[in-house]
Amino acid sequence: MASTYRVGVVRGDGIGLEVIDEGLKVIEAAGVTLDTIDYDLGGARYLRDGTILPDSVLDEWRGLDAIYLGAVGTPGVPPGVIERGLLLKMRFELDLFVNQRPFVDAAKGIDFIVIRENTEGTYAGEGGFLRKGTPHEVATQGSVNTRMGVERCVRYAFDLARTPARRGHLTMVHKTNVLTFAGDLWERTFNEVHAADYAEVPTAYNHVDAACIYFVEDPQRYDVIVTDNLFGDILTDLGGAVTGGIGFAASGNLNPARTGPSMFEPVHGSAPDIAGQNKANPTAAILSGAMMLDFLGEPAAADRIRAACAASMSGEITGSTTSVGEQIAARL
Ligand code: IPM
Ligand code: MN
């Protein structure tokens, strides 16, 4: 008998509600049974009763197999409240230290994965204000990089590059010529881990500004990329833009140590401008669902979903949110 997985579902806000339903529809059509538990969280919930992410919910999540999230964010909530209080709290508290974002455009021969460090860097929340609101105001926001945090992420990327599904090449992206403290720690960690345990893996290094040019002019050069949290955030939007658009960009926020659930979400946001109109492309959410199945140990179903999504990425499948979901489900 097939296993049942306990999955927390956060549809969230805006198009998140629409795209996750299509993802769940496709997973069911692929023959995988999920025992889903809905969590009404996000900007709309916050505006309604002030709830962001209670510790009791986090504790429930620790016992789940995975979390599937649509998108969070609503106009009317100040920037940072939901991002820090829900999404980043989830990444930090559940120790989702790898943010894995694959980019594929078969027609152009593009196939690379960005491994973004997901718990440190400028996202760590270090810093603060001095004399806030006065003419002498000071604001600092430091980048926190630990040897342990960088090393576990770099090791994950090397392991991934070595899997048979990849082409066996790893590029580190940073800005070592200017960020001489953080970049130095990253560079030494990368080189030491490489020499000690992955000497056979060919590697490269790109500064992040140069990587932006290569993403546009020669993305075929990349197989696996490992980079810091903020560089990874920016580069993966660019990655989406050069591989058919953010409507196809999937992600997994992974706890590879499996001390708790991992979380899967499309890279795109809640898109309030098109919410509720059955217009959003659900492919990124569906592909994120496939990543979730990979992680749950259902790679055959995940492969079938990815194959069906190729027709959406090539433009063969188009239409409303629900229609694209149905057409993908029908191809499984
Ligand atoms: C992403 C998003 C988030 C991030 C925001 C919403 C906090 O842009 O997942 O890429 O910056 O990590
Ligand atoms: Mn982003």
Q: Which residues in the chain land under pLDDT 70?
A: 1-2
Which CATH architecture group holds 97-248? 3-Layer(aba) Sandwich (3.40)
Q: What residues pack around ion ligand 2 (CB closer than 5 A)?
A: 233
| The pLDDT value given to residue 1 | 47
Run of H or E residues at 173: strand 170-174
* Nearest Cα residue to atom 5 of ligand 1: 83
* Nearest Cα residue to atom 4 of ligand 1: 233
* Whether 70 contacts 10, CB under 8 Å: yes
| The pLDDT value given to residue 2 | 57
Residue that the structure tokens 């979903």 belong to: 305
* Whether 62 contacts 53, CB under 8 Å: no
If phi over 0 gives left and psi between -120 and 50 gives alpha, with beta otherwise, what is residue 109?
left
Q: Where in the chain is the domain with CATH 3.40.718.10?
A: 1-96+255-332, 97-248
Interacting residues of 274 by C-beta distance below 8 A, sequence separation 6+: 15, 280
Question: Which of 95, 105, 237, 303 is labelled catalytic?
Answer: 237
87 lines ligand 1 (CB under 6 A): yes
Cα of 234 from ligand 2 centre, angstroms: 6
Q: What is the model's pTM? A: 0.97
Question: Which of 175, 198, 228, 294 is labelled catalytic?
Answer: 175
- Substitution site in 101, 233, 265 for ligand 1 pocket (most atoms within 8 Å of beta carbon): 233
| One-letter identity of residue 240 | G
- Does the annotation mark 38 as catalytic? no
- Substitution site in 10, 15, 82, 83 for ligand 1 pocket (most atoms within 8 Å of beta carbon): 83
pLDDT tens, 24-42?
A: 999 999 999 999 999 999 9
Question: Which of 39, 123, 198, 222 is labelled catalytic?
Answer: 123
Run of H or E residues at 265: strand 262-266
- Name the CATH superfamily, with its identifier, for domain 1-96+255-332: Isopropylmalate Dehydrogenase (3.40.718.10)
Cα of 23 from ligand 1 centre, angstroms: 20
Q: From residue 78, give the alpha-carbon distance in Å to each of 47, 74, 81, 85, 138.
A: 11, 9, 6, 12, 21
CA atoms within 13 A on the CB side of 33: 5
Cα of 51 from ligand 1 centre, angstroms: 20
Distance of alpha carbon 296 from alpha carbon 183, whole angstroms: 34
- Does the annotation mark 39 as catalytic? no
| One-letter identity of residue 235 | L
* Whether 252 contacts 68, CB under 8 Å: no
Interacting residues of 190 by C-beta distance below 8 A, sequence separation 6+: 150, 154, 172, 203, 205, 226
72 lines ligand 1 (CB under 6 A): no
233 lines ligand 1 (CB under 6 A): yes
Q: Which of 107, 219, 118, 121 is nearest to 171 (CA)?
A: 219
Cα of 227 from ligand 2 centre, angstroms: 14
